[in-house]
Structure 1
Amino acid sequence: MADQDFRLFAFQEEAADKLRAAALNWVGHSVTHGVPRYGSQPIPFIGQLRAVTGSGKTPMLADAVAGLGDAVVIWTSKSAAVVEQTYKNLRGRYRSLLPANDVRIMRDIPSQADWQHFLTAPTGITIWVLTTAAWNELEAANAGGDANARLSLHRPQPDWSGTTSPWELMRTQLKRPLWIVSDESHNQSSTQLEILANLQPMGFFLASATPVQNELFEKWREALTSDPNWDSLMEAGTVPVRTRDVVSEELLKTTIELFDNNSGFEEDLDSVLGTMAQLDEALLADHASVTPKAIYVVEKSNPPRGSSEEARPVVIWNYLRSKGVDADQIAIYTNTRDVPEDAEKISSLGQLQDRHRHIIFNQALQEGWDDPEAYVAYFDGRTNSFVRIRQIIGRILRQPNARTFESERLNTATVYINTPTENFEQVLADLKKELRLYAPENEPSAIPIRVKTKKNPLPGINPKPDLNDLTLPRWSLKAPNMTGAQQKLRSRGASPWAREFLDHTGIGQMSVLSLAAEEVIKSSPIDVLRSARTRNGIFLRRRLLARNRACLNAIHPDAIVGPSYEQESCQSSLCQEELENLISEIAASFEDRVEYQLDPDPDRITWSIGEHRPRNSDLLDFTNATHAQYSAADFNPDELLFARTLDSTGEGIWMRNPASVELGYGIPLPIKVGDSSKFYPDFIWWRDGTTWAIDTTGSHLMNDKIRGKLIGLEQPKIALVVRGKWDIARGTKIDTNGWTSVIARTALTPVVNHAEDLPSILTSFTP
């Protein structure tokens, strides 16, 4: 059954919209300028959704695919577990993201009727979820008796496809455009992706936590860079999701403990059980209904042939039992031949039960198993591969109930590895690099998830004593009267559009091209643009979300109702152009009139200082800061210079403000700046009865609408300090030397100061 209540988070909606729009813009440009080519080969659209494990790549891809119109989709992954879970979710939890009607989702060997529909149906969406072994001859040979190996699409399948191979039929006889979705595409080899390219799909959607490297794809990219339009369309196809946004929605745990244990097998497992006991204690204190789980990763399911050793899964099972763990709490998910009589051995993800708190496995759970209650991972034996470690960490990184708990232990994933000393630092560096990939551009060193190690446990640093009076009010946006905007929306919803306004502009004239040579290549893009439609109400809501989330939240849902919002329109249609104009008008009116108010929630009206959570072991000492030390990783060069200068004044007390929903002080923005809807000032300075919120980046205050509202706050006073001399009115730098400060004045224009050094700049900060 579909989950009718399932909704994407805002960052997921925006990513899916960007990906789908990039694909359709590519197709539209192909219609008007011809399909791009590499030699004689047509170049398909290449979309890359780059997002950390746990961000929800599958629902984002499903939402993107849903807007492609009539289509055949091959949704593939190397992992059978990923495929099994994807098939289940597309038919169940994520089904509401796909069109309500004319959708088929296939798995394994199809019936003759399903195959004929897949091949010949002119309309609707059909998604065939397959492992790579189904269409890759080499993998099929290695898969033995696996069902996907028997499926091999390169061989005739008389029972359902006749005497011609399904692969050849797909290549030549599909009536609908073909799209490829490659989940966990970092696991797919260049050869595999090139095999799929031989089907001449309309485009690829590659989902991965890391960039996908492929020689053929790189050649396609090089061929397109000479044309600025194609180059821009190609770049738009790469859609990164910021890890910070995923963490902000509380989808991921906020801390990873990485312990390198060399003390011996029994001591290591004792540490795992100790961590599980700590989790149980924290659950009682937090009154949380979560069942923490531990996973145990073995490299081999059975001992070498002729050996008298016990299989490692059995050794682990016996030790857990000796420590009092009930047998029904342990699952062995390996192909181990001989297991104890009362051991429970499972053969699929579907057999895992809530009571299984200790799960022993080798490859099966490497990807595709999504259980946020998994907290602890133990690697049995030596582990040198960061790729392997990263994949397992992904299984324990999701956060239960999508909310941060009061106890830090319940927000922490713990990993026990055994790796050579010389490799541990590299593993640690690789992990931090992975978590840092999707940081904001102005925070290239930021790691949104804290990494702790046994060698460097990185305890939190509490504020200095007697700082309880250093608080700040929490602000929220007070929406203006939206009656006029809602009347316009209702009026627009009451009048349906004529058909010509809903269709893509000029599509009728472009269809003449389908009579030219290379008919399939020419007509397919047109077919896509004709059928790729979005319900107008969804289009309006999502475009307004991307423009201004606060504005959308201020509009009653009943305002976006009416027959015209139930209609579906093509991208670039006159209907969507008119809706874009309406969105701009409503958002601009909101941004001009929105005001700040104290947070109406009495439990949130006051913000107070929390602990500092170091990002690395390189700690810097400060005399006049709220915390005695800060991590060096929390500063870029200009920020560190400012911190040292601020500390040296000896006046008041200051803190480095983390850009963290959990710990930092943030002020909502009336309009989005880049990808940010909240302003986290770099520094907070309590001095002579006045509190200053000081930012050393400046991008938030270069926009007139933000500068006019944000810096008008009484508490704290907002100020900008930025390197160089700036013309604030024009937002341009006029000299690279010196410094500029912009200081708020209530109901007056801000004071702009220029000075040659930072100490001189700080003298302008007066009550």
Structure 2
Amino acid sequence: MRAHFDCEPIVFWMSKAKSVVAQTYTNFSGGGKYSEIVDGFRVINIAQLSPEMIADSSIPLMVIATTGLFNNKDQSEGALNIYKRDQDRFGDKSPWERLIERTDSGKRRPLLIVYDEGHNLSEQQTELLAELEPDAYLLASATLKLPDSFNKSVIQHIKLWVDEADGESDAFKSLGATDEDGKPDIKRFITTAVNSSKVVDAQLVKRAIQFDGTTAPMERCLDDLNERLDTLTEEIDARGLGFKPKAIYVCKTNIADDGEKDDHTKPFAHRKAPPIRIWRYLVEEKGVDPKSVAIYANLSFVDGNKPEEVNLYSKGESDFDEFTAGDYQHIIFNLSLQEGWDDPACYLAYIDKSMGSSIQVEQVIGRVLRQYGATHYDNPLLNSAHFFLRVDSQSVFVDAIGAVKAKLQAEGAPIEIVDNFGGSGSGSEELRPKNDVDAPLCHINVDAEAACERIAEIIGEFPTFTDGSPDTYGQAHVASQVIDLKDLGADGVVPSWTAEGHTNPVRLRWLVNSALRSRSNRALAVSDLNDPKFDVRVQVQSIANKAADKVAREIVEAYFQQAELIYETLRPFRFGALRVPKNARGFTNGLYERYAGFNKFELLFAQALDKVGNTWHRNPTAGGFHIPLLTEGDTASFYPDFIVWKGNMVYCLDTKGSHLLSDAVARKLFDIQDGGKTKVLVRFISEGKQTELRGKAIKGGYTVWKIKSGTPTPIYVGDLDKAVKECLK
């Protein structure tokens, strides 16, 4: 958006919570983890705002503030500084009035309003923000609900425009902005829904949620949670990941289990408030260091009955910074933990839904769903959120899981849900590989040395552009159309676009980075763009912009052409703990005693595989052994369904429905060498007889797909036993 304005915009970035604002400022400031995205911006807190910054349209400005700064209806009598005239700094006008004007040499700068956690937008805020006459609103939320006044003042105008543009549906179809009937879809112009599967594929969130429900006492549920915490810690330490998993405990605050109000005047050891009972059990029974435990709730005490070692935060935002600085591993709260707390190290949650608790499980999911390091690991336990629900009956547990499934389904999130209910504890256990089975396997990584050399050459050959040269200018276009309000049914004249002015300049490095990121993060990671020639500012649609797109394509092509998959003999793959229901199906030759989570085809294949006698493993769907892919596509890695050991060879086998076999399968069919000898072979198995990818399957038998002479080749067999044997040839 910035690139298409004719001068640098002002971005007014806001959120309700001070903690969210503080995180945003840190992330966008120099050296912050998102600073590259806003390359060239001047990022400030609202207190740093000056008339000179507002008037300087040569530098994009991002102003970060809480909504409380301006959310005062009676501006003239309000105590908010943004509405007060400051003679020394802003002359005879207030900062708010200066933002409304935002002129530079008589020209008004564009203003974009970004509202993080946009579901907090209120009617009053809508009225106040409208005074700024922004060019665009960007409201971000997982549960967006817009006030009526916003619908009327902002969205209704867009809707009227779309309604009148009905006659030009072809244009909307080309934008993918029509509904099922081919009519312009107003929702597509208002809301951009991020596909949840892409969020999972980007490894920003976990791939699975594991629920354990019990009617046992709180202490038994906490035992299960801490046992899982120990397992996660062991898996994390074994991989040298360098972080500690955290747990949250959600319960009522001053109400005891029997529904009676806790007597806050009693000694700490006699209190019945759930947070205190949880604290005492963790510290006194489980041996947890009290320095690692925090209670974030308005828990009542009288003088002298709160032990010194209890870390209590009961003041909300005023002590939130102190709370986050404590880096606690165990956090007890009652849903008051505010929006700003998003710790990706949080892996476990205890939720007390007994005694008719109103706590909704789906409200807590977001606290535990972020993935630490934005990286999926090679063990499903480390890619899962672990919930422990204490309930009064199994029906409460079933209802809670149903609500979670409905929420995730509505969001289109491809997150696996595993639930186990046990009246006196968990119905699952952590299994480890059989002691007497040898299943050697090593990681497969990308050797990009040759690719790096070629990419360095490509970057070195990239031309040098000069600020202000014709090659850095991009032509902007404008269009206008007159609509006769007295004759809305008349055929509209197709607007004609005319060249006028230029697009806004951005750093060439940012353009190349963006083009690379959209194609391959791996190629971006090995591209050194620190050369000063990428500092030049160029305009969108310029020759330099087109050169940036071209060099990004060349870099990605070089990466995939010259990078190689390497079987890392010196880096063994670690088969860790695997969580499996106690009643799961057992297998004779499986690497683990039991496996679960099969669909019908996978189970039949596993049974046929088990009869052959070779050691095999059901690779977890939530993360396990994977092979990087060296072609462009929707996924960057391939997780085979089954791994089989035969002699010195490792076979990666994947069962696929015939309707899922597409040209994309060719990305995953390959052999991997180790020291010049074939070590890993990939096979696909589909039901029915097929002679080509995307071809119609004839019922009966199975098709095994192998790579021969660089081409996916189908081999038809009559039954699954023969299919397994063909796979292992």
If the length of structure 1 is used for normalisation, what is the TM-score?
A: 0.66
Please state if 1:575 is matched with 2:510: no
Please state if 1:536 is matched with 2:508: yes
Give the fraction of aligned pairs with identical amino acids, expressed as a percent: 23
Structure 1 residue 230, shift from structure 2 partner: 4.0
After superposition, where does 1:337-416 map in structure 2 within 5 Å? 338-341=301-304, 346=313, 347=315, 348-352=319-323, 353-354=325-326, 359=331, 361-362=333-334, 364-371=336-343, 377-378=349-350, 389-396=361-368, 415=387
- Asked whether the 8 Å contact 1:74–1:129 carries over to 2, the reply is yes
Structure 1 residue 484, shift from structure 2 partner: 4.8
Any unmatched runs of 5+ in structure 1? 1-22, 32-67, 142-148
What is the match of residue 663 of structure 2? Answer: 702
Please state if 1:228 is matched with 2:163: no
Distance 1:165 1:301 in 2: 46
After superposition, where does 1:671-690 map in structure 2 within 5 Å? 671-674=631-634, 676-686=635-645
What is the match of residue 185 of structure 2? Answer: none
CA deviations on 1:587-615 (whole Å, 9 max, x unpaired) are 3344344443322xx542x446555444x
Any unmatched runs of 5+ in structure 2? 178-187, 485-494
Please state if 1:176 is matched with 2:109: yes
Distance 2:93 2:396 in 1: 51
CA deviations on 1:293-331 (whole Å, 9 max, x unpaired) are 66554555799xx98832899746765469658877665
Distance 1:74 1:752 in 2: 58
- Asked whether the 8 Å contact 1:386–1:427 carries over to 2, the reply is no
Considering only CA atoms, is the larger Rg found in Structure 1 or Structure 2?
2
Please state if 1:667 is matched with 2:627: yes
Distance 2:437 2:726 in 1: 25
What is the match of residue 471 of structure 2? Answer: 501
Structure 1 residue 490, shift from structure 2 partner: 0.8
Please state if 1:714 is matched with 2:684: no
Distance 2:481 2:100 in 1: 19
After superposition, where does 1:329-340 map in structure 2 within 5 Å? 333-335=296-298, 338-340=301-303
Distance 1:704 1:399 in 2: 28
Q: Which amino acid aligns with 1:77?
A: S
What is the match of residue 62 of structure 2? Answer: 127
After superposition, where does 1:344-743 map in structure 2 within 5 Å? 346=313, 347=315, 348-352=319-323, 353-354=325-326, 359=331, 361-362=333-334, 364-371=336-343, 377-378=349-350, 389-396=361-368, 415=387, 417-421=389-393, 422-431=395-404, 444=414, 446-447=415-416, 455-464=425-434, 466-469=436-439, 471=441, 474=444, 476-477=446-447, 479-480=449-450, 483-494=453-464, 496=466, 499-504=469-474, 506-507=475-476, 510=477, 530-531=503-504, 533=506, 535-553=507-525, 557=528, 560-599=529-568, 602-604=569-571, 606-607=572-573, 612-614=578-580, 619-620=584-585, 625-632=590-597, 634-635=598-599, 638-640=601-603, 642-643=605-606, 646=609, 650=612, 652-659=614-621, 661=623, 663-664=624-625, 666-674=626-634, 676-686=635-645, 691-697=650-656, 702=663, 706=667, 710=671, 714-723=678-687, 726=690, 728=692, 731-735=693-697, 737=699, 740-743=703-706
Structure 1 residue 349, shift from structure 2 partner: 1.4
Q: What is the RMSD computed on CA atoms of the aligned residues?
A: 5.6
Distance 2:447 2:120 in 1: 44
Distance 1:162 1:384 in 2: 59
Distance 2:669 2:231 in 1: 49
- Asked whether the 8 Å contact 1:540–1:583 carries over to 2, the reply is yes
Q: Which stretch has the larger CA shift, 270-279 or 352-361?
A: 270-279
CA pair 481-210 structure 1, distance change in 2 beyond 3 A: same
Structure 1 residue 368, shift from structure 2 partner: 0.9
Distance 2:301 2:247 in 1: 23
Distance 1:638 1:271 in 2: 33
Structure 1 residue 439, shift from structure 2 partner: 8.1
- Asked whether the 8 Å contact 1:723–1:737 carries over to 2, the reply is yes
Structure 1 residue 668, shift from structure 2 partner: 1.7
Structure 1 residue 621, shift from structure 2 partner: 5.2
CA deviations on 1:90-133 (whole Å, 9 max, x unpaired) are 457457446566614234xx58xx36457655343443444445
Structure 1 residue 78, shift from structure 2 partner: 3.8
Structure 1 residue 458, shift from structure 2 partner: 2.5
What is the match of residue 239 of structure 1? Answer: 194
Structure 1 residue 743, shift from structure 2 partner: 1.8
Distance 2:668 2:381 in 1: 40
CA pair 308-235 structure 1, distance change in 2 beyond 3 A: closer
Number of residues paired by the alignment? 655
Structure 1 residue 244, shift from structure 2 partner: 4.0
Q: Which amino acid aligns with 1:309?
A: D
Give secondary structure in 1 for the equivalent of 2:678.
coil
- Asked whether the 8 Å contact 2:670–2:682 carries over to 1, the reply is no
If the length of structure 2 is used for normalisation, what is the TM-score?
A: 0.69
- Asked whether the 8 Å contact 1:617–1:631 carries over to 2, the reply is no
CA deviations on 1:164-193 (whole Å, 9 max, x unpaired) are 998787667673322233323455579977
CA deviations on 1:36-67 (whole Å, 9 max, x unpaired) are xxxxxxxxxxxxxxxxxxxxxxxxxxxxxxxx
- Asked whether the 8 Å contact 2:10–2:112 carries over to 1, the reply is yes
Distance 1:231 1:456 in 2: 47
Pairing partner for 1:310 from 244, 247, 264: 264
Structure 1 residue 474, shift from structure 2 partner: 3.5
CA pair 529-311 structure 1, distance change in 2 beyond 3 A: farther
Structure 1 residue 566, shift from structure 2 partner: 1.5
Structure 1 residue 695, shift from structure 2 partner: 2.6
CA pair 477-415 structure 1, distance change in 2 beyond 3 A: same
CA pair 512-104 structure 1, distance change in 2 beyond 3 A: same
Distance 2:233 2:449 in 1: 43
Distance 1:329 1:516 in 2: 66
- Asked whether the 8 Å contact 1:157–1:166 carries over to 2, the reply is yes
Distance 2:518 2:704 in 1: 31
CA deviations on 1:187-207 (whole Å, 9 max, x unpaired) are 557997798678664444444
Structure 1 residue 585, shift from structure 2 partner: 3.0
- Asked whether the 8 Å contact 2:472–2:539 carries over to 1, the reply is yes
- Asked whether the 8 Å contact 1:77–1:132 carries over to 2, the reply is yes
- Asked whether the 8 Å contact 1:81–1:364 carries over to 2, the reply is no
